[in-house]
Structure 1
Amino acid sequence: MAPTELATSLQAIMPPPAIDTRYTAPAASERTVSRVTVICPDCRNMAPKLIHDFASGDLLCADCNTVIGDRLIDSRSAWRSTAKISRQAEEDARMLMSLQTIATQTHDTTSSTSSQSDSGSNSPVATGKDAILSRALRSRTHGRAAAQRHERQERNLVRAFNEISAACATMDLPRIIDDTARDLYKRVDAENLHRGKSIDAIIATCIFLACRQKSLPRTFKEICALTKVPRKDIGRTFKFLKEKLGAEAGPMSSDDLMARFCANLSLLSSAQECAVMLNQMAKQRDTLAGKSPVSIAGACIYMASHLVGQPRDAKVISHVAGVSEVTIKNSYKLLFADRHQLVSEEMLRVSPMASIEFLPTP
């Protein structure tokens, strides 16, 4: 057999050799393609200085500013902003890092200690770095609680001021009453006297005190009708604040109430003038000694309105004055019994229609 035929026969019989596919060297053409040389098409510079403009995605030639390539992808590491992290969280993170640094520095010099509780049982105590972090975090918590408490007090103070202003505006009280009532409430808040007290009662009492101090008194009934606070609560709070603040309430006289009561009853000036004169004469003779200013004012107005021919019913006057009809009539009985000494010629000259005969018999 010829050598050529023998080789062919052996090749057909023997299996093909195994090929290691773990690594295959790149072909020569592939190696040539992977090595790319960039040439500027304008200045034909074989080694141009390249500028990577990632903002626009362009590859520029530094010599002639020609765009060589585009759609570049910025493969550099990018820092993502944490805009959603709150300012408080950032402050906490910085504080915690600083505390950890301090704790690490002082950890070697801090010895481990333990203490026994008051009940006699042993309990572990944080020491070293943990103790420093624990104290700092407790301090931070207390600081936040204090800030929240202060903010809450400020909100309550603003609310009270707004209610005082609204009440004073409803009653047509001057600005000085508003300011005085605010000052009183601020003192109550500063000394924490409202603890356990009704805020509405405190506000009503501050307005009542302010009116008394500025000689523009209002009755308990008027304040009650305005603030919807029971009279008993205002009276109790009034005594409490007067004692604690040492606030001078200012005397409330019947003369201070005459003008307002007469205006609310639509009486003429002659009736008001006669009522004031009756009040002065009753004081000189102690006719109504021991009676409240509101009762005295109501009784004098009742008598003066009939005296000058502008009669007003005791029930209507009691509604305006805030006292009972019986109280006004009982005080009027005392005035009527002393009418000849109280009614002077000067009173009768106030109005041409004035006559003592117009007075009703109690």
Structure 2
Amino acid sequence: MSQKLMNSLSSILCPLCNKQTNIITDQESGEIICTACGSVITNKFHLDNVDWLSTDSEEINYRDRTGAPTSLAKYDRGLSTVIGKINRDASGRQIEMSMRGRIGRWRTWDARTQTNDSAKRNLQAAFIQLYMMKDALGLPEPAIEKVAYLYRKIQERKLVKGRTIRGALAVASYIACREMGIPRSLREISKIANTKEKEVARIYRKVMFELDLKVPQVDAVKEVIKIGNLCGLSEKTKRAATKLMVSIMKTEVFAGKNPMGLAGAAIYISSKNNNEEITQSKIAEIAGVTEVTLRHDLDILLSISESIAIPK
């Protein structure tokens, strides 16, 4: 316990027994108690200009400080310091004029040393674009941390050289979405990143080979719900399509097939059974497949309709 805290406790007077020598502090609850009469003097004890103290009885001699959490989505992980432009010291007093010129030079060199490394400059530019893509993709903070982690891995293996930052970010975003089960297609991410889908696919194959990653398969049930929402279908149709997709996944037809095409076919069959008009071309466009693929998957589903129960 700090000396400031001990001095402050020694100056507290118990209002019942008027004694100062029997005052103790409960480290778990923060209550100030008089041991002579047992009264609780105050529930919470606040002192000005005192550091945060650990409430753990085993670590009471260690001081804990609060602050912003570290983040992989910051080029410096949120740990670097910056000399600001306010001409005041830590206590709030004005800095003397004779020292301001020297501090200005320190500030200049501090700003230069923050970004004198090409890798740091690359991360700084990449994570600025990442937060611009965050709202468009609707990704949560854990997904952003995962994207930042993957991008750092891509940079460490020097896979960014010769490729655009946006392309590498799009690949990291796609892999993170696949691993976390977020339904985002490669075409959708490429469009938001303003990058050609072929270029992103090329970088994706390179990254998967170099980093030896194993990403899970696309969740077809989530894709059915996503396509149904974008098509503006009713909840009844989406539930029927979801049940049909679950039945399809239990058969051998699902093996080796594009789940987006089967999801689109399930949506089309369910919409027809519930008398909702929607064209194959619209479903194919939203699902990211061609009409030929959609019709081929429809033929397959209709051929096995006797073995699977098509809900209505």
TM-score normalised by length of structure 1? 0.52
Aligned to 2:80: none
Q: 1:288 to 1:192 in 2, by over 3 A?
A: closer
Give 2:230's aligned amino acid. Answer: N
TM-score when normalising by structure 2: 0.60
Matched, 1:339 2:282: no
The total of aligned residue pairs comes to: 207
Matched, 1:249 2:210: no
Query: Of the candidates 174, 183, 189, which is equivalent to residue 208 of structure 1?
Result: 174
Determine if the alignment matches structure 1 residue 313 to structure 2 residue 279: yes
1:247-281: per-residue Cα shift (whole Å, max 9, x none)? 33222131131111111111122111111221222
Which residue of 135, 140, 156 corresponds with 1:169? Answer: 135
| Offset, 1:149 | 7.3
Distance in 1 separating the partners of 2:226 and 2:145: 22
CA-CA distance at 1:243 after TM superposition: 2.2
Contact 2:137 2:189 in 1 (8 A): no
Q: Tell me by how many angstroms 1:287 deviates.
A: 3.2
Q: Give the 4+ runs in structure 1 shifted more than 6 A.
A: none
- Residue 282 of structure 1: CA displacement? 2.0
> Which residue of the partner structure matches residue 182 of structure 1?
148
Q: Secondary structure at the match of 1:339?
A: coil
Alignment of 1:62-73 (within 5 A): none
What CA deviation, in whole Å up to 9, does each residue of 1:41-72 have, x standing for no partner?
Answer: xxxxxxxxxxxxxxxxxxxxxxxxxxxxxxxx
- 3-state SS of paired residue (2:285): helix
CA distance in 1, matches of 2:150, 2:138: 19
Aligned runs of 1:15-34 on 2, under 5 Å? none
The aligned residue for residue 235 of structure 1 is: 201
1:136-155 superposed matches below 5 A: 150-155=116-121
1:325 paired with 2:291, answer yes
CA gap of 1:289–1:151, structure 2 versus 1, over 3 A, is closer
Kept in 2: contact 1:184–1:206 (CA 8 A): yes
One-letter amino acid matched to 2:278: R
Q: One-letter code of the match for 2:197?
A: R
Partner of 2:165: 199
Q: Greater relative contact order (Cα 8 A, min sep 6): structure 1 or 2?
A: 2
1:208 counterpart letter in structure 2: Y
CA contact (8 A) 2:181 2:219 kept: no
Q: Distance in 2 between matches of 1:253 and 1:232?
A: 23
* % same residue: 22
- 1:80-116 superposed Cα distances (whole Å, 9 cap, x missing partner): xxx79x959xx9xxxxxxxxxxxxxxxxxxxxxxxxx
Q: Could you give the per-residue CA deviations for residues 166-204 of structure 1, whole angstroms, max 9, x where no partner exists?
A: 212112222222111111112222332212222221011
- 2:126 counterpart of 1:160: yes
Whole-Å separation in 1 of the counterparts to 2:190 and 2:249: 29
Tell me, yes or no, if the aligned pair for 2:220 and 2:260 is still in contact at 8 Å.
yes
The code of the aligned residue for 1:302 comes to Y
Structure number with greater Rg is: 1
Question: How far did 1:228 drift?
Answer: 2.1
